Amino acid sequence: MVLRGVLGVILISQVILCSEIKKCVSLQINRTSFPKGFVFGTATSAFQYEGAVSEDGRGPSIWDTFSHVPGKIEDGSNADVAVDQYHRFEEDIQLMKDMGMDAYRFSISWSRIFPNGSGEINQAGIDHYNKLINALLAQGIEPYVTLYHWDLPQALEDKYKGWLSPTIIKDFASYAEICFQKFGDRVKHWITFNEPHTVALLGYDLGFDAPGRCSIDSHIFCKEGNSATEPYIVAHNILLSHAIVADIYRKKYKHKVGGSIGISLDVIWLESATNSKEDIAATQRGLDFQFGWFMDPLFFGDYPSSMRSIVGSRLPKFSKHQANLLKGSLDFVGINHYTTYYAMYNPNITNILHDYISDSHALTLPFNLNGNTVIGDRANSFWLYIVPRGMRSVMNYIREKYGNPLVIITENGMDDPNDPLIPIKEALKDEKRIKYHNDYLSNLLASINEDGCNVTGYFVWSLLDNWEWSAGYTSRFGLYFVDYNDNLKRYPKNSVLWFKNFLK
């Protein structure tokens, strides 16, 4: 399928935009094209970057445990060293500074602050993040801090099954408040959770991510779990944890620095495979079960009606107090958007899987079974297809359905393969990545300037090539190439030069 949204050739910050009627105009984009004060940054997570997993009192997380189980990680690797940012953060901050980035989104490792998940504070962990935050500010780079990016302390998983127990709400709140107390005088932007949908889906439905729970062919993938109920329980406890922590921050800390708090949600945009009523309805259900699962409680105080009617008693309920606490419990919505899929009605999927995915009766794929077409060019990851128009569609969906709240793009990017046969000099020529960012940014800009969407920031995933969860080191998302065979040396890809020019 030809991509209709954005076509053309890039010359640094130039893209040719073509409309549906083939009327083409040349558009120059750079930092000044965006509203004054628009923030550009890069995004990372502690577990994928820090390494130093046994240093300075850090306790193990569920991902430490999971990544050491044979067969769980594609290349058999682990993140014990990752890209060693724990020791090299000053070097990496200089890389951001050289590009002209305004901000850095990173996550705090819960088990560095509380090695056992709760109880005694690890001062060495506090000291590390204080040094990181101060080093960022010294270079004029604003910290955006994520409290939870998937690395639950293993102690809490062992103690009460982690996110499956409501007990975790209190422990997460205690951890969050310590972060507010220790870092909140300098950190003005907080993100409670990164992609709770991914946590619930891959950790508790399919079992592909930590803690690796599922009931689908459990004799092959998982030792225990229930794919029909556990994803909903986990999502419920995460939403309530967010609401409690946001309430604490707003009442006790926000006014001190004029800060803000939000959440980062992943969104695969969906386009109906055909114009049939069945496929159009399936597309909306697909969005409800993926995005509305979290957005509706945060804006309306309850899950989407489609989820309530289909999932029934398996879907937990909010009390009136909880609904009121959830509704409006954010200052901004963080959006992690990478790709777009087709959606089509599939009444038989429930009979096959009996899990959260099948409940929507919607089959979502990057290719159209009806028309035998692929939605876009593929990056390296099997799930990531390049469809720039999806960015504008997501922004307008949020504007229209949720009242145009403040949005920050907290992740956007694409990956190349980690191919040992490609010389480093060639691997640095990432024109495909340059085009990706140019085209997605052009669509984001159109959503702001032409459609009136309220977007105030854009964070590239990611600053460096890194350990990519169950894909290990097979995937390279970075603007900087990391040589895993030579002391983790960082080399700028061509996309670094592009962003440097873009941000001048």
Residues 6+ apart with CB under 8 A from 56: 112, 122, 124, 125, 128
Catalytic residue among 50, 142, 157, 195: 195
φ and ψ at residue 369, rounded to 5 degrees: -65, -30
Q: Tell me how far apart the 2 most distant CA atoms of the chain are, in Å.
A: 64
Strand, coil or helix: 405 = coil
Catalytic residue among 50, 157, 230, 411: 411
Which residue is listed with tokens 């506090």? Answer: 126
- Catalytic-residue membership of 20: no
Q: Are 187 and 260 in contact (CB under 8 A)?
A: no
* Alpha-carbon gap, residue 349 to 300, rounded angstroms: 29
Q: Which helix (H) or strand (E) holds 160?
A: helix 154-160
Residue 155: both structure tokens together: 């102690």
For the chain, the first-to-last Cα distance in angstroms comes to 35
Strand, coil or helix: 30 = coil
- Catalytic-residue membership of 91: no
Q: What is the sign, positive or negative, of the torsion defined by CA atoms of 121, 125, 127, 130?
A: negative
Give DSSP secondary structure letters for 442-503.
HHHHHHHHTT---EEEEEES-SB----GGGTTSEE--SEEEETTTTTEEEE-HHHHHHHHHT
φ and ψ at residue 130, rounded to 5 degrees: -65, -40
Angle at 79 between CA 232 and CA 96, to 5 degrees: 95
* Alpha-carbon gap, residue 387 to 423, rounded angstroms: 29
Catalytic residues: 195, 411
